[in-house]
Amino acid sequence: MAFWKNYPNRLKILFLFIVCLQIYTAIQDRQKKVNNFACEICADKSGYYIYLPIWFNYGLDSANMPEIVRERTRERFENELAPGKSFTKFTAGVAMLLSPFYAVANFRHQVFGRVHPNPISADYLRYTNFGTALYLTLAFLCLFVLLKRRFGDGPALLGILLIYFGTSLRYYTEDESLMSHVYSFCLFSWSWYFLEKALLTRKRAGLILFALFASWAVLIRPTNIVGIPVILSLAIKPNAWKTEFPFLLKAFFWMLIPAFLLWIPQFIYWKMTTGNWLVYSYQNEGFHRWKDPALSEQWFAVNSGILAYTPAFILVPFGLAGLLWKRGKQYAPLFFSFLFCVYLFASWWAKGFGDCNFGYRPLVEFTALWSLGFAWVISAIFKLKPGLQFVALGFLLLCILYTNRVYWRFNSCAFGGEWDYVRFFQDYLN
């Protein structure tokens, strides 16, 4: 990837466009092959998406929402918190990211279409899916720059490929493009990149973008707040806080403005539906298992366990521990964020964050930060003797091939009991 520095910008833009187009094509092809369009906008996905038909088509009155839309979403989007209103427990962050692409689809179908299609359909998804592909391409670019600064071209590029093809990110991009995880992944990547850029260039604009994207990540999933101190610790070296803190403090007001303004549509939505400016919409759901976290299910269960679907993920704790050991206390928050997230999400009331996931989905977004663990392991492999290097790279390739086969054998997950490995491998091998 040396050309990234040496070649003209027009070639860089062309390369990014090709990557974006390839991801978009993969999303479209995958969703058609697994017939996801029959249920691509349903359950949790429809909860994130439903803001778009509310904003552009039907308004807040649930009576205005046609029955076909309710049928397609498999939700009535009514709740005792907001009787008579189209209410979703999910926040509007994903919809805000996708709204420009939905607006183009809506304009195209209303102005140029002979028949205006149901907005809960593939006719709209082909537009929002392009937004997903574009955002992920830009996130990969930011992540490549960040990893390259620390490990060089090879580990940075291979680390990104391993993250996409060896973890659950690919599934939550191509299959579940309306779930929140890929967007949180992108926002973490962008906020980290712009904070480092601001510190290098001493320009306030980068800090404003950092604050905007970090706030957006928290809006999408409040647990993403765990990532903000990690990003600060990665961007600011331990011995540089005395010089960097005044720079951050001077720009704090300008950072606070976009971070707060971003939340205003959400506050207005809650106020107009429930009468309250701030709502805990998940009601009885929460981290109730903190005394008995489902750690074994999190890592090993066949319907949503990490290692059952993405064995390459085991590199994360080893890589983060290696960073802490070799490169010092700057990476301590990164390592402990992994331990905290593992425990926190294992404490969620539903053991696997739902009965069926491709791997353990709430960890997907944090992979943007934990990518340093992948890159460190790869850089360490490059330093091994040729024989050991061949074995280590062979192991990584086998992990990717295994995950790829699971990806194509199961539409989402292995259906069966939590520990039914016999059926899992029967389906895997057939």
- pLDDT above 90 for 268: yes
Q: What is the pLDDT of residues 36-51, one digit of tens each?
A: 656 778 778 888 999 9
User: Three-state SS string across 134-180, please?
Assistant: HHHHHHHHHHHHHHHHHHCHHHHHHHHHHHHHHCCHHHHHHCCCCCC
How many other C-beta atoms can be found within 10 angstroms of the C-beta atom of residue 162?
Answer: 23
| Cα Rg of the chain (Å, integer) | 22
Q: What is the pLDDT of residues 91-111, one digit of tens each?
A: 999 999 999 999 999 998 888
- pLDDT above 90 for 190: yes
d(CA 337, CA 63): 44
Q: What is the pLDDT of residues 332-346, one digit of tens each?
A: 999 999 999 999 999
Query: What pLDDT is attached to residue 197?
Result: 95
- pLDDT above 60 for 217: yes
Q: What is the pLDDT of residues 355-392, one digit of tens each?
A: 678 888 999 999 999 999 999 999 999 999 999 999 99
How many other C-beta atoms can be found within 10 angstroms of the C-beta atom of residue 152?
Answer: 15
Confidence of residue 430 (pLDDT cuts 50, 70, 90): confident
How many residues are given for the chain? 430
d(CA 98, CA 326): 41
- pLDDT above 80 for 307: yes
- pLDDT above 90 for 244: no
Q: How far is CA 131 from each of CA 22, 49, 89, 292, 365, rounded to the nearest angstrom?
A: 13, 13, 23, 39, 17
Mean pLDDT of the chain: 89
Q: Tell which residue, 201, 49, 239, 217, has the closest CA to residue 128.
A: 49
Q: At residue 61, what are phi and psi to the nearest 5 degrees?
A: -70, 120
Q: Tell which residue, 212, 264, 276, 285, has the closest CA to residue 47.
A: 285
Residue ranges of alpha helices (H) inside 2-152 are 3-6, 9-33, 43-49, 51-53, 67-73, 93-111, 122-151
Query: What pLDDT is attached to residue 35?
Result: 67
Query: What pLDDT is attached to residue 36?
Result: 62
Query: What pLDDT is attached to residue 118?
Result: 82
Which residues on neighbouring strands pair with residue 61, listed in sequence order?
A: 85
Query: What pLDDT is attached to residue 3?
Result: 47
Query: What pLDDT is attached to residue 21?
Result: 93
Confidence of residue 189 (pLDDT cuts 50, 70, 90): very high
The better pLDDT of the pair 427, 363 is held by 363
The better pLDDT of the pair 189, 409 is held by 189
Query: What pLDDT is attached to residue 105?
Result: 92
Confidence of residue 72 (pLDDT cuts 50, 70, 90): low
- pLDDT above 60 for 242: yes
CA 231 from centroid of its chain's CA atoms: 16
Residues of the chain above pLDDT 70, percent = 94
- pLDDT above 70 for 7: no
Confidence of residue 5 (pLDDT cuts 50, 70, 90): low
Q: How far is CA 69 from each of CA 56, 73, 129, rounded to the nearest angstrom?
A: 14, 6, 19
Q: What's the rounded mean pLDDT across residues 419-427?
A: 86
The better pLDDT of the pair 283, 150 is held by 150
Say if pTM beats, i.e. exceeds, 0.85: yes
Least confident of 4-13, 42-51, 170-179, 328-337: 4-13
Least confident of 3-17, 47-61, 202-216, 271-285: 3-17
Query: What pLDDT is attached to residue 194?
Result: 97
Query: What pLDDT is attached to residue 10?
Result: 73
Confidence of residue 1 (pLDDT cuts 50, 70, 90): very low
Query: What pLDDT is attached to residue 74?
Result: 59
Q: What's the rounded mean pLDDT across residues 286-315?
A: 90
Q: Contact at 8 Å (CB) between 186 and 93?
A: no
Least confident of 10-24, 384-398, 409-423: 409-423
